[in-house]
Amino acid sequence: MNFRIPRAAPRYSSSGWKGCGSSPASRRLLLAANVLEIVHRQFTAPVAVLGSGIPAIDRITGIGGYPRGRITELFGTASSGKSALAVACCLNAAALGLTVVWIDLEHSLTAKLPLDPGPSARDILLLEPQTAEDAVDMAVILLERADIDLLVMDSAIAMNPSRRPEGMPSNMARAEMVGRALRKLTTLVARRQCVMLFLSRSYLMAVPASVASIGGGALRSFASLRLKTTQEQLSMDEGDLSSFAVRVRIVKNKLAPPEHEALLYYSLADGTLAEEPPAMVAEEPGEEPWP
């Protein structure tokens, strides 16, 4: 392939490059070396991150948490622990004094908080828009005018446009709405160096290892990090469901190798997500039953 340098392009000095003269071949070599240096610096620069609040998740991401200036997708089936992951990150960020915003399209955050979330939960700014368009406008205004460290969009399944074109299926209209939102928010998130967690729900497909989510192809493309949650290993205590295991798998990672997994445990008693299974309550010894 022949590369042509435009006449208006600056002429590079060969003082720092031995053997490079002013010939077109030398200029092309110098330009290619400059481009490679820029690309190398771009990919080897350290990535600013925000801790997830769970050490196991920080380890499997490969960078120590969720990347700043990028979008992270948390998706999985219903009640698989994706909201608990987002809540853990919010509580951790709020405890550090960072600005946290939760845009709750499903109006269900209060039911997702732990039984004792701690004083940092009061520092989470909760917004409950009525439409998907209002949610996007709120996010745009906040990112343009405020220094936000963590923004949670909950969730893609509720991002149905208020006006759907006639004849367009609901899932297609939802995916198009998510795509429009991401095209507006991606640049603002990068400019603010904000962590954006986008919650989504996976399709109920025959293939268990499917990585498709209701957010559509736009969310899969814009997200730099994608975590899939799966509910496993139900635990019973005195005949009642007490906890379940949550397997978290990295299905996409632009900043580190993917396909790492972590096994967490969600306690139904207090609504917390931890690396160790909750301890069972020991039964107190009572009197011997009457024969």
Query: What are residue 100's DSSP bridge partners?
Result: 124, 150
To the nearest whole percent, how much of the chain has pLDDT over 90? Answer: 57
49-227 — its CATH code?
3.40.50.300
Residue 209 pLDDT > 70: no
Confidence class for position 26, pLDDT limits 50, 70, 90 = confident
Confidence class for position 279, pLDDT limits 50, 70, 90 = confident
What pLDDT is attached to residue 22? 59
What pLDDT is attached to residue 5? 44
Boundaries of every domain in the chain: 49-227
Q: Please give the sequence-ordered ranges of beta strands (E in DSSP) within 34-149, or none if there are none.
A: 49-50, 66-67, 71-76, 100-104, 124-127
Distance CA 185, CA 179 (A): 10
Residue 119 pLDDT > 60: yes
DSSP track, 184-218: HHHHHHHHHT-EEEEEEEB---S-TT---BTTHHH
To the nearest whole percent, how much of the chain has pLDDT over 70? Answer: 81
